[in-house]
């Protein structure tokens, strides 16, 4: 990597394009990456910490858990489906303004939750929090893709890992605060604290210059487009819809196995069986869920870095194939508590990388200028996949067991692995050739 970085693009107070050129140190873009990671950690609890509040809310108001969980569904849908709009705003006005507003909305969402005495108000809080979380998530990932055209996989992976790491760091304090002061106080004070940190850090975010003006671009080992494609152009490209379909089936396939982990462990009669690994002893299900937090975070920068070295499609082939094998092995050998914990770890490790591989592949294919918008369009696949996950419960009920669920999930990942190499790879090569001709 070159030791000099001249970010000659001008910037204004909103973190967007202005009138004066600014010279940046070679380490400046790493500070942008760290800011994005911290912001992601601050919004993680809006999704991963939600489960801690469900029972206390039900106990306080007498609402059914199903009715309360509608709020979570609203959060996920607003967090994912509005990212393309938020990405457009990032590409148009820069990251600072979008994250500023996102931080305010994230804090406001939890403040509303702390005061919600009706389900309607709870749903409003979930929607506002979802919009804010999507704004922060889409901006931070998009900014990482723009600042690191030479290491997109690693940068997107580290940023996405922050989304999981945040919950790992604060899940215990939030749980303790709920027990000592009530869930309302936890919503209020953690909401204000998390939102305030995002709001303050947003002031240090700046718009990335053109990829060719960032040192290190020439050292990238993966093929990249020679032309910038707008979102409207991207939506007309068949290769985009191949990526979208792959994202959906991998996300849904993994979630079908992962989301039902509790019921599966209970049916296997091992949920409460103690498991001791490397001196740590926990019930099998608790152990498996703890590993989820760790490996689901580590896999994102790991496979992102691997894809920077050997290419996106080959990494997808390896990761998705490993997921397919891991899911089948979990079904066949998961009745043993130790095997259940180990194989669950493998499944989580081979699944979470979709949040680094797909955004980086999208930016490689369609360019940096509209990276936030285009990655946002692709990210809606997560919302689409979440709508398919309840089918796993229907499938299990219809067949009287989990065998069909595991087989379907494994097959979906195997299909995606083969598509990466035999469909996506040649299509992307053809797209790169066209981009060079058009450029």
In the prediction, which pLDDT does 386 show? 81
The residue from 166, 200, 218 where one domain ends is 218
pLDDT tier, 76 (very low <50, low <70, confident <90, very high otherwise): confident
Q: CB of 112 within 8 A of CB of 121?
A: yes
- For 101-111, what is the mean pLDDT? 97
Buried b (16+ CB within 10 A) or exposed e, 191-214: beebbebbbebbeebbbbbbbeeb
Q: Are residues 331 and 214 in the same domain?
A: no
Whole-angstrom Cα distance, residue 3 to residue 31? 16
In the prediction, which pLDDT does 5 show? 41
The reply to whether 243 falls in a domain is yes
Q: Does position 369 have pLDDT exceeding 70, yes or no? A: yes
In the prediction, which pLDDT does 215 show? 52
Tell me what percent of the residues of the chain surpass a pLDDT of 90: 61
DSSP 8-state code for residue 94? -
Tell me what percent of the residues of the chain surpass a pLDDT of 70: 92
Weakest-pLDDT range from 217-221, 242-246, 340-344, 383-387: 217-221
- For 43-61, what is the mean pLDDT? 89
DSSP 8-state code for residue 2? -
In the prediction, which pLDDT does 258 show? 66
| CATH number of the domain enclosing 312 | 1.20.1250.20
- For 297-313, what is the mean pLDDT? 94
- For 163-177, what is the mean pLDDT? 80
The reply to whether 22 falls in a domain is no
Q: CB of 323 within 8 A of CB of 250?
A: yes
pLDDT tens per residue across span 248-285: 999 988 777 666 777 888 888 998 898 888 888 888 88
Q: Are residues 119 and 265 in the same domain?
A: no
Whole-angstrom Cα distance, residue 216 to residue 381? 31
Q: Are residues 204 and 226 in the same domain?
A: no
pLDDT tier, 404 (very low <50, low <70, confident <90, very high otherwise): confident
Q: Are residues 389 and 310 in the same domain?
A: yes
Q: Please tell me the total count of domains within the chain.
A: 2
Q: Are residues 148 and 237 in the same domain?
A: no
The residue from 218, 235, 260 where one domain ends is 218
Alpha-helical segments (H) within 273-370: 284-310, 312-333, 337-349, 354-366
Which residues lie closer than 8 Å to 213 by C-beta, 6 or more apart?
Answer: 6, 7, 8, 9
The residue from 167, 194, 218 where one domain ends is 218
Q: Are residues 115 and 205 in the same domain?
A: yes
In the prediction, which pLDDT does 301 show? 96
Q: Does position 2 have pLDDT exceeding 50, yes or no? A: no
Weakest-pLDDT range from 236-245, 273-282, 305-314: 273-282
Q: Does position 175 have pLDDT exceeding 50, yes or no? A: yes
Q: Are residues 395 and 264 in the same domain?
A: yes
The reply to whether 321 falls in a domain is yes
pLDDT tier, 222 (very low <50, low <70, confident <90, very high otherwise): confident
CA–chain centroid gap for 427, Å, is 25
The reply to whether 9 falls in a domain is no
Range of the domain at 272: 222-438
Helices (H) and strands (E) in the chain, counts: 20, 2
Mean pLDDT taken over the chain: 88
- Burial environment of residue 98 by CB neighbours within 10 A (0 to 12, 13 to 18, 19 or more): buried
Kindly report the pTM of this predicted structure: 0.86
Element (H, E) at 282: strand 280-283
Q: Are residues 103 and 187 in the same domain?
A: yes
- For 73-82, what is the mean pLDDT? 90
């Amino acid at each position: 990597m070159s030791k000099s970085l001249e970010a000659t693009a001008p910037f204004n107070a909103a973190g967007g394009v202005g009138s004066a050129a600014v010279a940046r140190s070679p380490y400046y873009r790493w500070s942008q990456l760290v800011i994005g990671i911290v912001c992601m950690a601050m919004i993680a609890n809006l999704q991963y910490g939600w489960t801690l509040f469900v029972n206390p809310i039900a106990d306080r108001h007498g609402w059914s858990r199903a009715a309360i969980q509608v709020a979570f569904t609203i959060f996920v849908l607003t967090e994912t489906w509005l990212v393309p709009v938020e990405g457009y705003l990032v590409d148009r006005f820069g990251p600072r303004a979008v994250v500023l507003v996102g931080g305010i909305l994230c804090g406001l969402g939890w403040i509303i939750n702390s005061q919600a005495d009706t389900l309607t108000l709870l749903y409003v809080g979930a929607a506002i929090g979802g919009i804010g979380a999507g704004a922060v998530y889409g901006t931070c990932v998009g900014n990482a893709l723009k600042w690191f055209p030479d290491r997109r996989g690693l940068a997107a992976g580290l940023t996405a890992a922050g989304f999981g790491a945040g919950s790992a760091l604060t899940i215990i304090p939030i749980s303790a605060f709920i027990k000592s002061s009530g869930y309302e106080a936890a919503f209020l004070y953690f909401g204000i604290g998390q939102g305030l940190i995002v709001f303050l850090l947003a002031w240090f975010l700046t718009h990335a210059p053109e990829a060719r003006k960032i040192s290190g671009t020439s050292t990238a080992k993966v093929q990249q487009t020679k032309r910038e494609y707008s979102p409207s152009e991207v939506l007309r490209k068949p290769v985009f819809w191949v990526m979208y379909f792959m994202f959906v089936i991998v996300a849904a396939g993994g979630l079908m196995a992962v989301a039902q982990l509790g019921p599966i462990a209970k049916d296997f009669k091992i949920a409460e069986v103690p498991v001791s690994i490397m001196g740590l002893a926990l019930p099998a299900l608790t152990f498996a869920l703890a590993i989820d937090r760790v490996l689901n975070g580590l896999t994102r920068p790991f496979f992102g870095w691997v894809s920077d070295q050997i290419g996106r499609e080959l990494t997808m082939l390896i990761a998705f194939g490993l997921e397919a094998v891991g899911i089948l092995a979990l079904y066949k050998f998961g009745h043993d508590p130790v095997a259940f914990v180990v194989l669950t770890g493998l499944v989580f490790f081979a699944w979470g990388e979709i949040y680094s591989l797909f955004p980086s592949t999208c930016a490689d294919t369609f360019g940096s200028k509209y990276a936030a918008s285009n990655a946002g369009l692709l990210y809606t696949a997560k919302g689409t996949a979440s709508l398919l996950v309840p089918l796993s419960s229907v499938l299990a009920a219809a067949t009287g067991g989990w065998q069909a669920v595991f087989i379907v999930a494994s097959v979906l990942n195997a299909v995606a692995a083969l598509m990466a190499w035999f469909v996506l790879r040649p299509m992307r090569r053809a797209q790169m050739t066209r981009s060079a001709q058009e450029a």
